[in-house]
Amino acid sequence: MRTLLLAGLVAAILAGAAPVMAQNPVFDRGVQAYKAGDYLAAVAAFDEVYRTNPQPVVLRNRGLSYFKAKDYRRAIVDFEALSKQTQLADDLVMYGNALDNGGRYPEAIAVYQRAAALPPGELSAWTEMGKAHFRAGQFSLAADAHAKAAIAKPADPTVQLSLGDALYKAGRYPEALTAYRAATRLQPSNSAGWRMIGNTQLKLNDRAGALESFDRALAIEPGNYDNNIAKGVQLYNSKDYAGAAIYYRRATQAQPKMATAHAYLGDALRLNKDLAGARQAYEAALALDAKQTLALKGLIPILIQTGDPAAARRRIDQLQPLDAEAAARYRAMLL
């Protein structure tokens, strides 16, 4: 959402800047550099203009360029200065975004609150405030902010999805289910909405409903990593290890570099008595992430069981700094 928001703002800002900065080739150079993704060149151009023509539109574009270059400290300085010159909700939202990305969540939330009081800033301000609360782990406050965004734009499925995510993380599962259902009613092809309905149904002990929801998500996006992981977890928890392995394998195909998916596949194969396949999956996980504890704990017993004590000792040594208690148990198994 933040990327889309900024893209919309930039388009409006660049268009609005034209009459103000007409006949200014340096400003135009900054605009073209920004559009080309050369944000440091854009900064240099806007900075040159600002030294002789310190108008808000120049400051705004320089701040945006700093933001896109991930120089949040300088973006904050520019947007703070801009907020003292203008009373535009969008300027405050950009200021809040810079603070948020700079890890200054309480200040970002305060700025979003100011923006929300200035129309037409309600939707973007409440949405960004909700995301800032979410990142700060304040999930109920995030839900409250997203609920206000939903009032401002009730027909937006993305807003409903964000509301559902905050409610889910807050443990407010019935309310989360209502929000996710609203998202899928507004956008039936929203596979993330169906997947999260399934996850929420599991929390509410509706396993049959969850299975149906996961299937709907997969029907929409069969190759989606998260959809396959969710279906695999549901089958694994139902002790259908062969079925779980199918979906975990699809997840590894969707995202081959996700160590967790390979570790999950290893667990499903091990419990389905395919020790050779499990070993291969665990080793794939550890090749991607040497600290993948789940894979180490699954692999070491296989190495011991299949008579490869040297390899087991190497993996136990690898586990030692991650889980000393588990490493001690496995060492005892080798005696």
pLDDT in tens, 282-301: 999 999 999 999 999 999 99
In percent, the amount of the chain with pLDDT more than 70 equals: 93
Which residue from 116, 184, 185 is spatially nearest to 151, judged by alpha carbons? 116
pLDDT at 2: 45
Q: Tell me: the pLDDT tens digits for 41-83?
A: 999 999 999 999 999 999 999 999 999 999 999 999 999 999 9
pLDDT at 23: 74
Cα 85 from Cα 95, distance rounded (Å): 13
Residues constituting the chain:
335
Other C-beta atoms within 10 Å of 292: how many?
23
Flag whether pLDDT at 171 surpasses 50.
yes
Cα 271 from Cα 188, distance rounded (Å): 36
More confident position, 246 or 154: 246
**Tokens representing residue 140 in the block:** 């109920």
The pTM (predicted TM-score) of the whole model is 0.76
Which residue from 158, 92, 160 is spatially nearest to 122, judged by alpha carbons? 92
Q: Tell me: the pLDDT tens digits for 81-124?
A: 999 888 888 899 999 999 999 999 899 999 998 888 887 667 78
State the Rg of the chain over Cα.
25
Task: Let me know: does 102 contact 111? Beta carbons within 8 Å.
Answer: no
Task: Let me know: does 316 contact 326? Beta carbons within 8 Å.
Answer: no
For the segment 29-47, the average pLDDT, to the nearest whole number, is 95
For the segment 114-139, the average pLDDT, to the nearest whole number, is 86
